[in-house]
A and B are shown apart, each in its own frame.
Chain A
Amino acid sequence: MSQVNQKNSEHSEHRLPSPIANPENKPFLDAAQIGGLLVKHCNTCNQAHYYPRTICPHCGSDDTTWVKSAGLGEIYSYTVMRRGVEVPFAMAYVKLQEGISMLTHLTNCDFDSIRVGQKVRVVFQETQDGQKTHLFEPV
């Protein structure tokens, strides 16, 4: 496992695939580029959602606005993808303080020490085309 974790912490030779830019997620990706994690908040039903949409998936309203997340949360579930991939990685659902969960990766940690319920915070990492994306590390 030590070899696995070393590869993960370096990340130098292996960048993650890039998110796909589109008109609906441009503010999200632009914010990531300067270290901000945005989620969508609906002004009609007063609930946050993820992944972000123009129209609220909870109530159908188009009165949705981007809000900055504190970027803090806990691990809802995770797995360590050890085989069948070029470089092993730790995938997780992180439940943000705002109450919504997002699919992501965990970084800067020993994969064997990851636990459900662990507190984490957002970090950003450059992907293959230069766009940054969010990952989480233990607090």
Chain B
Amino acid sequence: MSFTTNKYDACIAGIYEHPLRVAPNHTVAQLHAEVARGALQDAGLTLDDVDGYFCAGDAPGMGPVSMADYLGLKKLTYLDSTDTGGSSYLTHVNHAARAIATGQCKVALITLAGRPKSEGSSGTQVRSQWASAPDFAFEKPYSPAPLNTYAMCAMRHMYEFGTTSEQLAWIKVAASHHAQHNPNAALKDVLTVDDVLNSPMIADPLHRADCCVVTDSGGALVVVHPDIAKTLEKPVVTMMGAGETTKGQMGGKVDLTYSGLKWAAPLAFKEAKLTPEQIRYASIYDSFTITVLIQLEDLGFCKKGEGGKFVEGGQLISGKGKLAFNTDGGGLCNNHPANRGGMTKVIEAVRQLRGEAHPAVQVPNLEFALASGIGGALGTRHGASVLIMGRLQ
């Protein structure tokens, strides 16, 4: 049985998530190399097999030029350094799959790593990479940062739809239920709704516990041609559909209630010939609880404005709720390497499809999985990307 079409034939054959969450004695390049080696070993391949390389803004120096030299990649025929913040790696998988499908490479390596924890990064601060943006000339006086811009999305969602802090808290609670089973998770304690609401208010209406963790870490993926996937030992996870876009302030016609996934998700579902009702596991980018809520709506898991009702009562907890999400604990509890959560979203989706998630959170007999990401700032300008994957039976 094959899920794929000729125009979109590629498989995710290797995954690796760095076990560290604090890495003060590593260089960023070293972390990239360690995750690259880990993902290639997981696939049963070597650096010598790699002919496509993908990295984003977290890579040091001149992106793929610096990193290919550091890693010792000698056979590259395809490079991509698309940077849409934390959603970059979902986009890289899509681009790698298209490049493989059109014969431009056969083994694509995607790496991510960074040390924001050791470097003292915080979501309350203005991101240095935003400084040269044309908008920043106007917006610099107001210190737009991840926390305050996402907080304004939450505030507007509450105003328009009656979404509550308790409903947002359920997203963190669900992630914490999953993280307790992950020995590498940055936060392993199971939280209650009250725990979230009693954590300090950082930027109204977002509490500290509405935020993801800041971690030094990394991850890597290997995307390969199906002919290569067939020769490898791991269960074959194949690409079925993808969509990507950006959304900004639209020349001043600001609408904070939806993300670019409103436009990108239908592309992915159409290509995969699936509907949201057929998805039982989803990795949903979780920089903040509100990020998850808005994506759930835009992906079509519920109607716009009904995300709060969708998540409350533990509906995202694996084995309990209607949709298992982020069973590794997500960015909210497990890992948000380099302040970029897209890589770990793909990794956990692949673990689920292979049946390699922790037994306490593994979704049984999973055929399809989705991973989605928001990069940059949902409240100002962001990249939005979504992948739908399947397991070849």
Measured CB to CB, the residues of A under 8 A from B are 16-22, 24-25, 28, 39, 47-53, 56-58, 76-85, 89, 91-93, 95, 99-105, 116-117, 127, 133
The reply to whether A91 and B152 contact each other, CB–CB distance below 8 Å, is yes
What are some 15 contacts across the A-B interface (CB < 8 A)?
A: A25-B137, A39-B252, A48-B252, A49-B252, A50-B251, A51-B138, A79-B148, A84-B123, A84-B124, A85-B143, A89-B143, A99-B253, A100-B253, A103-B139, A127-B141
The reply to whether A17 and B143 contact each other, CB–CB distance below 8 Å, is yes
Query: From residue 85 to 114 of chain B, which have CB atoms closer than 8 A to chain A?
Result: none
Known: A51-B135, A77-B152, A116-B156. A133 touches B125 (CB 8 A): no
Which of B144, B148, B149 is packed against the most chain A CB atoms within 10 Å?
Answer: B148
List, in ascending order, chain B residues with CB within 8 A of A101's CB: 249, 252-254
Chain B 283-302 near chain A by CB (<8 Å), digits 1 or 0: 00000000000000000000
Which of B145, B147, B206 is packed against the most chain A CB atoms within 10 Å?
Answer: B147
Which of A48, A51, A77, A102 is packed against the most chain B CB atoms within 10 Å?
Answer: A77
Chain B min CB distance to A99 (Å)? 8
The reply to whether A104 and B147 contact each other, CB–CB distance below 8 Å, is no
Chain B 131-159 near chain A by CB (<8 Å), digits 1 or 0: 00011111111111101110111011001
Which of B142, B156, B200 is packed against the most chain A CB atoms within 10 Å?
Answer: B142
> In whole angstroms, what is the CA distance A127 to B203 when docked?
23
List, in ascending order, chain A residues with CB within 8 A of B252's CB: 39, 48-51, 99-102
In the complex, residue of chain B having the shortest beta-carbon distance to the beta carbon of A50: B252
List, in ascending order, chain B residues with CB within 8 A of A76's CB: 156, 254, 256
Known: A51-B138, A83-B200. A77 touches B251 (CB 8 A): no
> In whole angstroms, what is the CA distance A52 to B147 when docked?
25
Known: A50-B252, A79-B148, A93-B256. A20 touches B140 (CB 8 A): yes
Query: How many of chain B's residues have a CB under 8 angstroms from any CB in A?
Result: 42
B176 within 8 A of A: no
The reply to whether B201 and A82 contact each other, CB–CB distance below 8 Å, is yes
The reply to whether A104 and B142 contact each other, CB–CB distance below 8 Å, is yes
The reply to whether A77 and B156 contact each other, CB–CB distance below 8 Å, is yes
In the complex, residue of chain B having the shortest beta-carbon distance to the beta carbon of A133: B141
Chain B min CB distance to A128 (Å)? 9
The reply to whether A79 and B140 contact each other, CB–CB distance below 8 Å, is no
Known: A100-B251, A116-B159. A81 touches B380 (CB 8 A): no
The reply to whether A19 and B137 contact each other, CB–CB distance below 8 Å, is yes
Chain B 46-57 near chain A by CB (<8 Å), digits 1 or 0: 000000000000
Known: A79-B151, A80-B204. A105 touches B135 (CB 8 A): no
Q: A20-B136, A84-B123, A89-B143 provided; 12 other pairs, C-beta below 8 A? A: A16-B141, A39-B252, A49-B251, A76-B254, A77-B155, A78-B204, A79-B155, A79-B206, A80-B204, A93-B254, A99-B252, A101-B253
> In whole angstroms, what is the CA distance A56 to B251 when docked?
8
